[in-house]
Amino acid sequence: MARPTRPGELLPQERQREILQRLRSRGRVMAAELAAELAASEDSIRRDLRELAAQGLCRRVYGGALPLSAAVAPLKQRRGEQVGRKLALARKAASLVREGQVLLIDAGSTNAAIAAALPERMGLTVVTNAPDIALALIEREGFEILLLGGRIDPHIGGAVGAQTLKELQRVRADLCFPGACAIDAGTGLWGFDSEESLLKRAMVEASGETVVVATSDKLGMLATHRIAALDEVQHLVVEHAVGRQARAAFSARGVRVHRAEPAAD
Amino acid sequence: MARPTRPGELLPQERQREILQRLRSRGRVMAAELAAELAASEDSIRRDLRELAAQGLCRRVYGGALPLSAAVAPLKQRRGEQVGRKLALARKAASLVREGQVLLIDAGSTNAAIAAALPERMGLTVVTNAPDIALALIEREGFEILLLGGRIDPHIGGAVGAQTLKELQRVRADLCFPGACAIDAGTGLWGFDSEESLLKRAMVEASGETVVVATSDKLGMLATHRIAALDEVQHLVVEHAVGRQARAAFSARGVRVHRAEPAAD
DNA sequence: CATAAACGTACACAAACACGCACGAATACG
DNA sequence: CGTATTCGTGCGTGTTTGTGTACGTTTATG
């Protein structure tokens, strides 16, 4: 393939702009990662990095590049324990997504992390009721974004209520990420808020498969509002530390359990 | 084909205007793509691009052209650009809001500044199609927020299209802030993008009063898509530097003109 | 110290490009 | 009314630019 610019592809300058943006928001970029996300060969990525470094816009390191020590602050914030764990979960969850799928992503900080971890240039369509998730995806590229409207609940950070429910019924998704719920191997999926649970229920119904991403404290927990039975949940993403027994309890009931990588740094 | 003007064809200037518009709405154009869409040879397109670049209206790159990095710098930067000027405008615009009103706020960096300048604890309801505006208000307190759903245009930074239009029709607002448009004392309000303008038009219709907040470059400017006549605009907020004559042209036609305080910065 | 991944360089190829030219149409002018 | 001029266009020419591949070198890691 020796074509400089193909219809759906990125121009070199666009790619470099994209790299700089990632550099700012993530604090680091890796060549192989960029190659996959920007649909270019590692060689082209390396060429870009070389140019950017020559312009003094980044610092090259073995494996990728770092910002010019300017935007270290966001990286430090990211180092927070909770955030590190969520990042690992999010990465695992994002890895379940396949080319061209339609994703239904609920509001919530864990789901926001998942959205941030989604690969670009895979022709993904994201339907969400959360402004922060929509905003994060706008600032990246290559996503078809569908916003669910309605009255916003400030505590949830997204639209809920009848209007949202109604809009949701016009959507069919492949994969659904209902936000923070409690999940129990015997009784299924539970939510804490009435209206919120109603919406999550509708999301599960509107999707082919459902992925539950659960921090450890949500495992084996019950709550007041029933969202779905366990056989409506196809995937469960848990933290690395979750023991074999706990995982087996779910996989025995037909749920595919995915364990996140141990939080690196 | 060597005829300058053939019945169905575009004049060079028309073509260039068309290119600029695409550049605005898509964030990039490619020579081959334009050639197909505008029914011209790539050579002509390249000539156009060369001229536009010479005029400083775009940046040429191998394969096509990009907006002048200022315009393309996704929201985050654009927001930070003319903060001083926009802040002054936003403050003035926010001062027009009265207790308990329902506001209809379009997407755009200026409008985001207005939303940020809105007073809390006034029982305001904000209806918006922009995730960033919704998010900013969630993080404050005392606002009732209604999100308009629909497909999101990444360059506009908000929902547009048929779905959004439909949802909008279920809303009545007191005050409307259509985002960055061109305004002319003779012909009224104009927009740059077709779908975007359609939405703005609907916003104006759904509101009791309309407030146009215009940076100086938008005054007396025309564009391709008509949004509203001048008698549908009740308020115009302009920068401090705008001269008496320009202001009089509007106030003579029944528009209340508000001048922002001089930018402090 | 062995090994694999990441890196840089050199090269070939195709797309995109700039330039010059000729043609057709509209306009200007005697 | 005929001729000259101007302008935009398409086509051929050679050049530039970005990309992938191949191969040797450097770097991190156990």
Inspect the interface and report whether the beta carbons of B134 and A139 lie closer than 8 Å: no
Set of chain A residues whose Cβ sits within 8 Å of the Cβ of B154: 138, 141, 143, 145
Instruction: From the CA of B10 to the C1' of D19: give the distance in Å.
Output: 35
Inspect the interface and report whether the beta carbons of B62 and A5 lie closer than 8 Å: yes
Beta strands in B83-142 (DSSP E): 102-105, 124-128
Q: Which of B28, B137, B140, B147 to mutate to test binding with chain A, by most A CBs within 10 Å of its CB?
A: B147
Summary mean pLDDT of chain B? 86
Total number of domains constituting chain A? 2
Q: Which of B64, B138, B154 sits opposite A11 (nearest CB)?
A: B64
Placement of tokens 């000539």 in the chain: B47
pLDDT in tens, B153-212: 988 899 998 999 999 999 999 999 998 788 888 889 988 888 899 999 999 999 999 999
The pLDDT assigned to B84 comes to 67
The pLDDT assigned to B150 comes to 95
Domain that holds residue A146: 79-259
pLDDT at B83 exceeding the cut of 90: no
Query: What does each C-alpha distance from B180 to B28, B127, B198 come to in angstroms?
Result: 20, 17, 14
Closest Cα in chain B to A128:
B149
A60 in a structural domain: yes
Same domain assignment for residues B84 and B138: yes
B43 closest-nt by C1' vs CA: D10
B6 in a structural domain: no
> Residue A129 belongs to a domain with what CATH number?
3.40.50.1360
Same domain assignment for residues A28 and A144: no
A264 in a structural domain: no
Mean pLDDT of A40-55: 89
In this prediction, residue B82 has a pLDDT band, given cuts at 50, 70 and 90, of low
B253 touches strand C (CB under 7 A): no
B63 touches strand C (CB under 7 A): yes
pLDDT in tens, A198-236: 999 999 999 999 999 998 888 888 788 999 999 999 999
Inspect the interface and report whether the beta carbons of B138 and A131 lie closer than 8 Å: yes
Instruction: From the CA of A101 to the C1' of C29: give the distance in Å.
Output: 67
Element (H, E) at B163: helix B162-168
Mean pLDDT of B211-224: 81
The C-alpha angle B158, A157, B164, rounded to 5 degrees, equals 30
- Among B46, B66, B86, the domain-final residue is B66
pLDDT at A141 exceeding the cut of 80: no
Closest Cα in chain A to B163:
A167
Same domain assignment for residues B41 and B138: no
The pLDDT assigned to B264 comes to 53
A6 in a structural domain: no
Q: Which of B64, B131, B146 sits opposite A135 (nearest CB)?
A: B131
Those residues with Cβ within 8 angstroms of residue B179's Cβ, 6 or more apart along the chain or in another chain: B106, B107, B108, B110, B111, B200
What is the rounded CA–CA span in Å between residue A130 and residue B49? 39
Q: Are B38 and B23 in contact (CB under 8 A)?
A: no
Inspect the interface and report whether the beta carbons of B146 and A146 lie closer than 8 Å: no
pLDDT at B3 exceeding the cut of 60: no
Tokens in use for A45? 């990525």
Same domain assignment for residues B34 and B95: no
The pLDDT assigned to A159 comes to 95
Strand order across the A225-228 sheet: A182-184, A188-191, A225-228
Same domain assignment for residues A205 and A245: yes
The pLDDT assigned to B75 comes to 47
DSSP state of B262: P
Torsion A39-A40-A46-A47 (CA) sign: negative
Closest Cα in chain A to B61:
A13
A265 in a structural domain: no
B63 closest-nt by C1' vs CA: C16
- Among A25, A57, A73, the domain-final residue is A73
Inspect the interface and report whether the beta carbons of A151 and B146 lie closer than 8 Å: yes
Q: Which of A16, A44, A147 to mutate to test binding with chain B, by most B CBs within 10 Å of its CB?
A: A147
Same domain assignment for residues A66 and A91: no
What is the bridge-based pairing of β-strands A102-105 and A173-177?
parallel
Q: Which positions of chain C lie under 7 Å from any protein Cβ?
A: 6-10, 12-20, 22-26
Strand order across the A59-61 sheet: A29-30, A64-66, A59-61
| pTM of the full structure | 0.69
Same domain assignment for residues A166 and A130: yes
B264 in a structural domain: no
Same domain assignment for residues A184 and A59: no
What is the rounded CA–CA span in Å between residue A68 and residue B19? 36
Closest Cα in chain B to A167:
B149
Same domain assignment for residues A23 and A110: no
What is the rounded CA–CA span in Å between residue A154 and residue A157? 5
Q: Which positions of chain D lie under 7 Å from any protein Cβ?
A: 7-12, 17-22, 27-28
Those residues with Cβ within 8 angstroms of residue B175's Cβ, 6 or more apart along the chain or in another chain: B96, B97, B101, B102, B103, B104, B207, B208, B209, B210, B211
- Among A73, A90, A123, the domain-final residue is A73
Tokens in use for B241? 């530097």
What is the bridge-based pairing of β-strands B235-238 and B207-214?
parallel
Q: Which of B32, B61, B131 sits opposite A11 (nearest CB)?
A: B61
B119 in a structural domain: yes
Q: What percent of chain B has pLDDT over 90?
A: 49
In DSSP terms, A103 is beta-bridged to: A126, A175
Radius of gyration of chain A (CA): 20
Lowest mean pLDDT, pick from A27-41, A187-201, A245-259, B107-121? A27-41
Same domain assignment for residues B144 and B245: yes
> Residue B59 belongs to a domain with what CATH number?
1.10.10
Q: How far is B125 from chain A (nearest CA, A)?
A: 10
Which residue lies nearest D7, CA-to-C1' measured?
B4
Q: Are A58 and A65 in contact (CB under 8 A)?
A: yes
The pLDDT assigned to B86 comes to 81
A2 closest-nt by C1' vs CA: D19
Those residues with Cβ within 8 angstroms of residue B193's Cβ, 6 or more apart along the chain or in another chain: B21, B24, B25, B156, B225
Same domain assignment for residues B86 and B217: yes
Count A/B contacts: CB-CB distance under 8 Å.
100
Side-chain-side CA neighbours of A168 within 13 Å: the count stands at 25
In DSSP terms, B147 is beta-bridged to: A150, B128
Closest Cα in chain B to A143:
B154
Q: Which of A4, A139, A159 sits opposite B147 (nearest CB)?
A: A159
Same domain assignment for residues A69 and A83: no
> Residue A50 belongs to a domain with what CATH number?
1.10.10.10
Tokens in use for B154? 């990444």
In this prediction, residue B76 has a pLDDT band, given cuts at 50, 70 and 90, of very low
Residue A89 phi/psi, 5-degree rounding, is: -60, -45
A7 in a structural domain: no
Tokens in use for B147? 């999100």
Q: Are B192 and B21 in contact (CB under 8 A)?
A: yes
